[in-house]
Structure 1
């Protein structure tokens, strides 16, 4: 049977623009491969019509809320439409940085010490406690929304004087936030296809960290793939990445970010279950280093979702 593929893109999250770029890159590739694919912007399309319009396969290019949080995965499974990427549970856990870290820590994996804050609590009444806890972490610290990607809403601060301003700013993006010890070091990202770890990318930026500008705007950001790690380090990082991936029961394609500190220790940062597929994205870069074209990568990710049919 000829599959009719819905490339799900856009949506309503803060990562909408990146999702549109990823989605149309995927769509163009699928059309180039002579597949029956169509762009579906979930912001403007009634998803209940997918089945009646003949779609029986979905290629998810939605980033952030509504795409990586398990909600679209659950809806597609209800409609009996196969889809790319991780399932409901793995998606919903992976987008939650705090709960992801709890699972990783349970497996002995290194993640930055943190403080978890919820807007639902009376923040004003516990600011003094937060200040004491933050001082224990030690500056600099990084404050991030718990369920956002693309480094949106993240702030790095070096003194307590900026703490409350940064907390309030981050609460504009999410009702739950993380205050983490900022781990200084070299940044690496590891892409995974099924159970295959692709060549590692080393990221170098002049910014304080690999923020939104460094990812999507700044021309000075540099990427090295293969990473330049020695064989022992590379083997170790790939093993950690695969353990982190399997701990969350992820499948399909994803990407995990790391910091290598000056003591030669790898720290887990976060995981992306729907990695970017734009012309600046890192998973296609890793695939290329493994000898795989963008079109081959897109088709392989699509083929991996057949178990959901």
Structure 2
């Protein structure tokens, strides 16, 4: 009998549309691989979600959710309580990786370079007393560059007014690192490769990530061999330091001298043209084989 896999997708975060794409693509690839697949759009009604999930009787849950409540340990905790094996990282690693201040503390503890940063309230950002330009303002716990703004000497734009910031009372203010955008997928404890992301946008923002023609992915990244190797080394170290499992994707900036770790995504995009599947294919792993590996190595912390 085919193993039953329930794919969690959609949800109610700011990344719902991206998750729907990931879930549909992963589900189709899993069907091609011979699994009995059910797609489940996750509702905020926890009782209804548990009832719907129970009805599908999964052997494994494929987590294709992105953003808050799907990537931050919340859904992982429910699955742990239900003793259902699931793909990607567990609840603690997911929670730490999603919370940018916590993740940076871990990176610093393991000597992984990060950009200088502080946690500031909105008033100090509006007064421009938090950090001298250029800097980046980020929500503490959002993904896909949601809410990210770069403030430079060339712009007078601030990331919000006093009342229009929906992402919490505090923000991360981080020194802007000029240079090249690199990303590394990690599968298990092995780096898949290094991709350089090139975009005409001011930075790799939400539209650059998901709009048609918003960016180009260069695989493998045309960087010196020592930079390539160091990017992979730092990404595997970050994956391990956070306690990730399954697959993750590390985003880095290279200023010509130093590689800086920006963040680790524990639920990277899962369409066949997403960054990690692109790297996997370049390494000889097809998309159906990639999602199969994730299902066959799924576990929970029950």
State TM-score, norm by structure 2.
Answer: 0.92
Cα deviations by residue, 1:128-159 (Å, 9 ceiling, x for unpaired): 8x633312xxx221111111111111111114
Q: Of 106, 109, 134, which aligns to 1:106? A: 109
As a proportion of its length, which structure holds more helix? 1
CA drift of 1:210 comes to: 0.5
Q: 1:286 to 1:160 in 2, by over 3 A?
A: closer
Cα deviations by residue, 1:181-213 (Å, 9 ceiling, x for unpaired): 110000100000110110110111111111111
SS state at 2:172 partner:
strand
Distance 1:234 1:170 in 2: 40
Q: Of 115, 118, 123, which aligns to 1:115? A: 118
Q: Is the 8 A contact 2:15 2:67 kept in 1?
A: yes
Q: Is the 8 A contact 2:120 2:130 kept in 1?
A: no
Q: Is the 8 A contact 1:7 1:23 kept in 2?
A: yes
Gaps of 5+ in 1: none
Distance 1:175 1:56 in 2: 40
Distance 2:284 2:141 in 1: 33
CA drift of 1:47 comes to: 2.3
CA drift of 1:167 comes to: 6.5
Partner of 2:128: 131
1:54 aligns with 2:57: yes
CA drift of 1:176 comes to: 3.2
Q: How does 1:1-309 map to 2 (within 5 A)?
A: 2-43=2-43, 46-49=48-51, 50-118=53-121, 124=123, 131-135=128-132, 139-159=133-153, 162=156, 166=160, 168=162, 171-219=165-213, 221-262=215-256, 264-306=257-299
CA drift of 1:290 comes to: 0.1
CA drift of 1:52 comes to: 4.7
CA drift of 1:32 comes to: 1.4
Q: Is the 8 A contact 1:153 1:169 kept in 2?
A: no
Distance 1:127 1:44 in 2: 32
Q: Is the 8 A contact 1:171 1:177 kept in 2?
A: no
RMSD: 2.2
Cα deviations by residue, 1:284-309 (Å, 9 ceiling, x for unpaired): 11001101111111111111214668
Cα deviations by residue, 1:232-267 (Å, 9 ceiling, x for unpaired): 2212111111111111111101100000103x2100
Q: 1:168 to 1:218 in 2, by over 3 A?
A: farther
Gaps of 5+ in 2: none
Cα deviations by residue, 1:157-184 (Å, 9 ceiling, x for unpaired): 1149847553747732334311111100
Q: Is the 8 A contact 1:143 1:166 kept in 2?
A: no
SS state at 1:151 partner:
coil
SS state at 2:160 partner:
helix
Cα deviations by residue, 1:114-140 (Å, 9 ceiling, x for unpaired): 12135xxxx54x568x633312xxx22
Give aligned pairs, total. Answer: 299
State TM-score, norm by structure 1.
Answer: 0.90
